[in-house]
Amino acid sequence: MVKLTMDLIARGTSGYTKKKRDESMQHYLKRLTHLYLEDRNIDEIGDDLSLCRNLVVLYLYDNKLEKMPNLRNNCNVTHLYLQNNNINKLENLGTLRRLTKLYVGNNSIAVLEGLEKIDCLQELHIEHQKLPLGEKLLFDPRSIKHLAPTLEVLNVSGNHLDSIIELCGMTKLTQFMASDNSLTDMREVTHCLGAWQRLSRLDLIGNPLCHKAKYRDRIIIIASSLGVLDGKEVTATAKQFLKNWQANKEAVKKKRLQTMSGSETMSFGDIGERDLPPLSAPIKHPSFTGFLMPALPKRQMRDVLVRSMSQPHPGQTMIQRGPHGTFSEMSGPKLPMVFGNQFMSSMHSEPHASLDIDYWP
């Protein structure tokens, strides 16, 4: 076990900040601005660090710390390097109002929290936390909301994340690293990219969504300000080519929809439900009434009826008037259908179908 002491602090300085022979320890610690205490097997921070009132940059990475150091008297710290320790909780940061860069990667932090009082944090590196199997890094909404106006660089790689929707509000991001996670939802990522208009670097390599068709093209089209994607440069030529390709694709789609909208007949099985064109109003056909044949003159009508009654209906015999006013039964060939089958059928089916031919003068 190694505890941070004044002697260890004195050895953790560069050449031009070495303690002078006639300089008191109190004065020496007070004028220190940078401390290089990395890889010293330190597992405990004592109170001596509080004597470094003008400390600006503190290197404590690659040690064995299990808790965040108490820096309540080191309010001038702007850069804090605590990666590769065993820290399990973000705490004791409320007094660091000037902190701009915080490095806590490769620890055991389960929740991004305790940052509500830091007003000017620009970079946060909390990648590859050593979490229990099945757990992922969680985000405290209060900290996320407070960091949104200032945070420009965020590294959350290797934290078993399956969603980044909680980070969409960080509109000032210029660099976002989220490689080696479990991101699968391309729509969620594109939604965030639409909000991150200043993004110049994006790392998503090692996520399942990277294997989706045209993943890189889709990212470049949406994130127009992007300069580096997954470690590879995004050139201006590539951006322009994809921009033209997308514009042509949209134009073809629009033209197809217009063509389909103007067609009277279409196959609805070939298009998606969302692409259905508006239906035209049904065509109204004029209505038709029954056709009435013009009436015959009385004399012609009488002759027609005489002939029709003189010819037997199938299965019947008819009475014919003789030359001397006598009547006789006769059968004859089938009548020609003068008025159509429907009329003749009605003549034979009606109970008053037998007419007095002497009715007309």
Do the Cβ atoms of 118 and 148 come closer than 8 Å? no
Q: Of 175, 170, 164, which Cα lies nearest the Cα of 143?
A: 170
Question: 321 vs 45, which has greater pLDDT?
Answer: 45
Q: Of 177, 166, 123, 114, which Cα lies nearest the Cα of 143?
A: 114
**In the prediction, which pLDDT does 295 show?**
67
**In the prediction, which pLDDT does 358 show?**
44
The pLDDT tens digits of the residues spanning 222-254 come to 898 999 999 999 998 878 777 777 777 777 777
Q: List all residues 6 or more positions away from 310 whose beta carbon is below 8 Å from its beta carbon.
A: 318, 320, 330, 332
**In the prediction, which pLDDT does 350 show?**
46
Least confident of 60-69, 191-200, 291-300: 291-300
Band of pLDDT at residue 198, cut at 50, 70 and 90: very high
- Whole-angstrom distance, CA of residue 202 vs CA of residue 193: 10
Band of pLDDT at residue 196, cut at 50, 70 and 90: very high
Checking if the pLDDT of 150 tops 90, the result is: yes
Q: List all residues 6 or more positions away from 334 whose beta carbon is below 8 Å from its beta carbon.
A: 311, 314
Q: List all residues 6 or more positions away from 63 whose beta carbon is below 8 Å from its beta carbon.
A: 37, 38, 39, 40, 41, 42, 43, 84, 85
- Whole-angstrom distance, CA of residue 156 vs CA of residue 208: 16
**If you average pLDDT over every residue of the chain, what do you get?**
82
Q: Which CATH number fits domain 110-245: 3.20.20.80, 3.80.10.10, 3.40.190.10, 3.90.1150.10?
A: 3.80.10.10
Do the Cβ atoms of 172 and 198 come closer than 8 Å? yes
Q: Of 185, 188, 206, which Cα lies nearest the Cα of 196?
A: 188
**Number of helices (H) and strands (E), helices first, in the chain?**
8, 16
Hey, where are the domains in the chain? 110-245, 298-313+334-361
- Whole-angstrom distance, CA of residue 233 vs CA of residue 42: 40
Do the Cβ atoms of 236 and 243 come closer than 8 Å? no
For 284-297, what is the mean pLDDT?
Answer: 61
Do the Cβ atoms of 228 and 205 come closer than 8 Å? no
Band of pLDDT at residue 339, cut at 50, 70 and 90: very low
Helix, strand or coil, per DSSP, at residue 330: strand
Q: List all residues 6 or more positions away from 306 whose beta carbon is below 8 Å from its beta carbon.
A: 357
Band of pLDDT at residue 15, cut at 50, 70 and 90: low
Checking if the pLDDT of 273 tops 60, the result is: no
For 282-305, what is the mean pLDDT?
Answer: 66
- Whole-angstrom distance, CA of residue 221 vs CA of residue 3: 53
Least confident of 35-39, 180-184, 312-316: 312-316
Do the Cβ atoms of 161 and 181 come closer than 8 Å? yes
Checking if the pLDDT of 327 tops 60, the result is: no
Instruction: Using a pLDDT cut of 70, give the percent of the chain over it.
Output: 75
Question: 125 vs 357, which has greater pLDDT?
Answer: 125
For 19-44, what is the mean pLDDT?
Answer: 89
Do the Cβ atoms of 207 and 178 come closer than 8 Å? yes
